[in-house]
Amino acid sequence: MPAQVATQRVAWVPWLIRVARWSDRYFPLLAVAPAIVILFLTTIFPLLFALSNSLYDYYLPQPALRSFVGVSNYVAALRDPVFLASLRRTGILIVAGITVQLLAGFAIALLLGDEEVRGRKLLTTLLAIPMMIPEVAAAYMWWLLYRVLGFLNYALGWVGLGPYLWISGPSTALTSIMITDSWQWTPFVALVLLAGMAAIPPELHEAAAIDGASWFQHLTLITLPLLRRVLVVILLIRSMDIFKMFGLVLVMTQGGPGDATLTATYYTYLNGFAYFKVGYGAAQSFILLVIIVLLSTVLVSYVYEERRP
C-alpha cells in the first residue's frame, strides 16, 4: 500500500507542474479578464451598437420600418445647418471659455503662489469648492441668479444697472452659460497651474534674480515656457469637457431662447431622445466623437513632440 500511494503521488507531480506553468503563463490574462468583460459590456458593446444604429434610418416609435441607409445619416448631419450652427456655438464656448479660464486661473495661481500672501492654504481649499458642486446643482443655482427677478439683477439695480435678460436674451444666453462654466472650472485651471509652478526648480528664478531679471521677465522667460505642457493638458481636458457640455444647457436654457444656446451635444441629445431619430442622433454622436479624437490627438502629439530631445 505505501508503494501504491507513493506511485499515485508521483503521477500527480507532472500534472501539477503543467498547471503551475499554465497559471504562470495565463494568470495576467485571467487577472484582467473581469475588467475586460465589464469594459466590453459597458463601453465597447454600446459603442458598436450605436455605430450599427447610425447606419440605419431608425425612428424609435416605428421600429418595424428600420432600414439600412449606410452613411446617409452622416451626410445629412454634415449638411444640416442646425447641426453646423451648433458646432460653431460649441467652438465659441471652447475658445472663449478656455481663454477666460486660463487668464483668470493663471492670475489666481500667481496670487496663491506668492508665499507672502496670508491664508494661502485656506484660500486654496475654498477655491476647490465650485468643482465639488455637481453640474446640475451649479446650473440650477446660477439659473436662480440669472432670473430677471434674481439676485444678480437685484444687486445690479443698486448701482443703477440692469435688469438684464441673462439667459432669456439671444445675445447674452451663451455668454451666461460660459460664465457659469468658468466659475465652476477656473479653480481647476488655477490648481493645475499652481502645481505646475511649484514644480519649477527655484534655482532658475534665483539665477534670474541675480542677473537682475524683472518680474515680467521671470514670467515670460521662465514660468510660461516651463508651463507649456501643463497648459496643453489643461487645454485638452477643458476642451473635451466643454465639447460634452450638457447639464448647464439642459437646466438653464434647454437650447434657447430660440437656438441661441443649442450646442452640438444638446442637439444630438434632442435628435436621439426627444425626436426619437435614433439613427440620425447616433450618426451625430459619432461625428462629435471623431472631432474630439482628432482634437485630442493633435494636443497629445504636441506633448510628445515636446518631450523628444
308/290 Cα distance (integer angstroms): 27
In sequence order, which residues have a C-beta less than 8 Å from that of residue 45 and are 6 or more positions away? none
Instruction: Please give the distance of CA 206 from its chain centroid, rounded to a whole number.
Output: 37
Higher pLDDT, 32 or 106: 106
Query: Angle at Cα 34 formed by Cα 32 and Cα 36, nearest 5°?
Result: 70
Q: 186 is written with which cell numbers?
A: 477656473
pTM: 0.85
Residue 290: pLDDT band with limits 50, 70, 90 = very high
Residues in the chain, total? 309
DSSP state at residue 170: T
Instruction: Check whether 3 has a pLDDT greater than 80.
Output: no
Does residue 187 contact residue 167 with C-beta atoms inside 8 Å? no
Q: Give residue-wise pLDDT tens across range 89-111.
A: 999 999 999 999 999 999 999 98
Return the percentage of the chain with pLDDT > 70, whole number: 91
CATH pick for 72-307 out of 1.10.357.10, 1.10.3720.10, 3.40.50.620, 3.30.70.250: 1.10.3720.10
Q: Give residue-wise pLDDT tens across range 128-170.
A: 899 999 999 999 999 999 998 888 998 888 988 878 889 999 9
Question: Which residues are paired to 59 by β-bridges?
Answer: 277
